[in-house]
């Protein structure tokens, strides 16, 4: 059984959460609920564990949710002390033996887990005293302490893996209440060739990029469309990676899936006219660009291999091809200073983006900057990962700026982003009205304008 504890079927009433809330009251509420297993947020998890009473519990763990995963494991062990708990995913892969410091975790799977998990389950089911030493790519508790087996090589042919949507009706809890678009998340590749110093993806996937065939990807998209999906998001670290692959995949999507709407993350380097033209023709309507800093020297330090002018130009090219550009920005890097932060603040109004996801640098295990922060004495071996994520008010890993100074810049950045997003959204609504007027005539434009008036006059929910 597959259980997604974060799923909320009431998507129509989803509320966007502001940066300001995440960096303040929202973070403190999260901390309270995380520590209190009697908090209502854990009720459904506890109920699900009681309903299924699993003999084996596998949890996908990112660094941000490591402590949440430990709480889930504790709940499982409370109900069934013999439950065998396996952690997998990015954090166990990057943190290694540290992920088993808490005794509620029995084993971790390193890097890709599809083949590894099958071997683990076969071993558990075939013996009352299982021996795990022959299984590559795991860390487990042996009689004399932790045992790390030899690394498992990645599976080269990604087309060998089954299409998830085919199995989900049988294994996903509450499958029938998931909206079709909620499951429309696709990986076309694994691996990222770039070397951003704040990213730990290389530990999970390596820098070697493996590609699913365009036919295999389109086959999954068709299965999602048959279930009623109208939009697909590509979860790849970097969509396409190679121009030839982007060209071939987009051509097949356009041919086999007409009318599909999709989005992805892409690098500034790949956001050129040819790629964007092919992507738009295949139905891409939104991309997210990882720009991160508005200072050229800082971009060099974190190995983004772009300049601010290239970043601004990439945003404009997206708009030229009628693709909405979202943007990632970040500051608080260890060698950040007043000049580099000012550059990031100043680039905000130059980015014609209706959505800027703003983060404060967090050192994640497996990244180059994590090791540098350790060498500079900024973090120790007992780092509390629950207190540090991209929207944590506790983040302070800067050698040149005090926490108070960084906080002042943070709140200025949030104010600038709020103003910029409102300004761009207003302009986009106006442009949409003009486009309707050109394409469909005055009645369509009038209907669009009246819908905007209705939204503004609608009663607001009580606070």
d(CA 239, CA 246): 8
pLDDT at 434 over 70: no
CA–CA dist 316, 311 (Å, integer) = 9
> Helix, strand, or coil here: 49?
helix
Q: For residue range 243-292, list pLDDT tens digits in order.
A: 999 999 999 999 999 999 999 999 999 999 999 999 999 999 999 999 99
pLDDT at 453 over 50: no
Residue 277: Cβ within 10 Å count: 16
pLDDT of residue 18: 67
pTM over 0.85: yes
What band does 455 get if pLDDT is binned at 50, 70 and 90?
very low
Q: How far apart are CA 270 and CA 242, in angstroms?
A: 8
Percent of the chain with pLDDT over 70: 90
Mean pLDDT (whole number) for 182-189: 94
Could you tell me which residues are beta bridge partners of residue 107?
A: 86, 140
Q: What pLDDT digit, counting tens, does each position of 38-60 carry?
A: 999 899 999 999 999 999 999 99
Dihedral sign of CA atoms 76, 78, 83, 85 in order = positive
Instruction: Let me know: does 288 contact 266? Beta carbons within 8 Å.
Output: yes
Q: Is 328 helix (H, G, I), strand (E, B) or coil?
A: strand
**Is the pLDDT confidence value at 14 over 90?**
no
Q: By 3-state DSSP, what share of the chain in percent is helix, strand and coil, each rounded to 5?
A: 50, 15, 35
pLDDT one-digit tens code per residue, 161-175: 999 889 899 999 999
What's phi and psi for 351, nearest 5 deg?
-95, 110
- Residue 463, pLDDT score: 39
Residue keyed to tokens 């799923």: 7
* Band of residue 213 on the pLDDT scale cut at 50, 70, 90: very high
Contact status, residue 76 vs residue 57, Cβ threshold 8 Å: yes
Mean pLDDT of all residues belonging to the chain: 90
> In this predicted structure, what is the pLDDT of residue 15?
53
Give the mean pLDDT of 85-95.
96
Of residues 290 and 421, more confidence is placed in 290
- Give the pLDDT band (50/70/90) at residue 450: low
* Beta-strand pair 284-292/324-331: parallel
Question: Above 70 in pLDDT, residue 441?
Answer: no
Average pLDDT (293-308) is: 97
Q: Work out the angle at residue 272's Cα, subtended by the Cα atoms of residues 266 and 278, and round it to the nearest 5 degrees.
A: 80
pLDDT at 6: 83
Domains and CATH numbers, the chain: 11-110+113-148 (3.40.50), 158-432 (3.20.20.70)
129 falls in which pLDDT band (50, 70, 90)?
Answer: confident
- Rounded to an integer, what distance in angstroms lies between the CA atom of residue 406 and that of residue 99? 31
Judged by average pLDDT, the poorest of 26-30, 72-76, 246-250, 298-302 is 26-30
What would the pLDDT profile of 318-336 be if each residue is shown by its tens digit?
A: 999 999 999 999 999 999 9
- Cα–Cα distance for residue pair 70/99, rounded to 1 Å: 10
Question: What SS3 class is residue 314?
Answer: helix
Q: What's the mean pLDDT in 124-148?
A: 94
pLDDT of res. 11: 52
Contact present, 49 and 75 (Cβ < 8 Å) = yes
List alpha helices for 290-402, DSSP H: 296-301, 308-320, 338-347, 368-375
- Predicted confidence at residue 426, as pLDDT, reads 83
Residue 407 reports pLDDT greater than 90? yes
The 10 Å Cβ neighbour count of residue 247 is 18
> How much of the chain exceeds pLDDT 90, in percent?
73
Q: 321: which DSSP letter?
A: T
pLDDT digits (tens, 9 = 90+) for 334-382: 999 999 999 999 999 999 899 999 999 999 998 999 999 999 999 987 8
Highest mean pLDDT among 6-20, 99-113, 191-205, 349-363 belongs to 99-113
User: What's the average model confidence in pLDDT over 103-120?
Assistant: 96
């Amino acid at each position: 059984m597959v259980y997604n504890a974060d799923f909320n079927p009431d998507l129509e009433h989803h509320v966007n959460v502001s940066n300001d809330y995440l960096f303040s009251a929202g973070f403190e509420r999260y901390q309270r609920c995380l520590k209190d297993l009697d908090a209502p947020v854990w009720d459904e998890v506890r109920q699900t564990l009681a309903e299924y009473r699993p003999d084996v519990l596998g949890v996908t763990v990112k660094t941000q949710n490591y402590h949440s995963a430990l709480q889930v494991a504790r709940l499982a062990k409370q109900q069934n002390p013999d439950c065998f708990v396996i952690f997998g995913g990015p954090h166990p892969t990057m943190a290694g033996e540290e992920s088993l410091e808490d005794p509620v975790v029995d084993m971790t799977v390193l890097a890709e887990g599809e083949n590894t998990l099958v071997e683990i389950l076969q071993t558990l089911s075939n013996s009352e005293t299982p021996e795990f030493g022959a299984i590559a790519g795991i860390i487990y508790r042996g009689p004399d302490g932790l045992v790390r087996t030899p690394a498992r090589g990645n599976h080269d042919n990604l087309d060998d893996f089954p299409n998830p949507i085919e199995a989900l009706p049988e294994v996903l809890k509450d499958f029938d209440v998931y909206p079709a678009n909620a499951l429309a998340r696709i990986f076309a590749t694994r691996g990222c060739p770039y070397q951003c110093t704040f990213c730990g993806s290389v530990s999970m996937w390596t820098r070697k990029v493996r590609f699913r065939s365009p036919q295999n990807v389109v086959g999954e998209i068709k299965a999602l469309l048959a279930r009623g999906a109208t939009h697909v998001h590509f979860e790849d670290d970097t969509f396409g990676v190679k121009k030839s692959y982007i060209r071939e995949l987009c051509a097949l999507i356009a041919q086999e899936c007409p009318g599909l709407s999709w989005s992805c993350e892409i690098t500034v380097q790949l956001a050129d006219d040819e790629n964007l033209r092919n992507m738009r023709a295949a139905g891409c309507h939104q991309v997210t660009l990882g720009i991160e800093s508005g200072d050229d020297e800082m971009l060099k330090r974190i190995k983004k291999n772009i300049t601010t002018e290239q970043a601004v130009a990439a945003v404009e090219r997206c708009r030229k091809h009628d693709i909405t550009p979202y943007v990632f920005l970040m500051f608080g890097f260890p060698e950040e200073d007043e000049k580099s932060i000012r550059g990031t603040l100043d680039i905000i109004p130059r980015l014609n983006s209706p959505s800027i996801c703003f983060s404060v640098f967090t050192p994640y295990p497996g990244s180059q900057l994590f090791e540098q922060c350790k060498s500079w004495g900024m973090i120790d071996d007992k780092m509390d990962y629950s207190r540090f994520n991209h929207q944590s008010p506790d983040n302070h890993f800067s050698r040149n700026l005090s926490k108070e100074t960084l906080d002042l810049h943070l709140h200025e950045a949030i104010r600038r982003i709020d103003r910029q997003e409102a300004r761009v959204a207003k302009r986009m609504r106006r442009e949409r009205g003009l486009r309707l007027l050109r394409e469909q005539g005055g009645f369509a434009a009038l209907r669009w304008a009246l819908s905007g008036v209705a939204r503004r006059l609608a009663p607001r929910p009580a606070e």
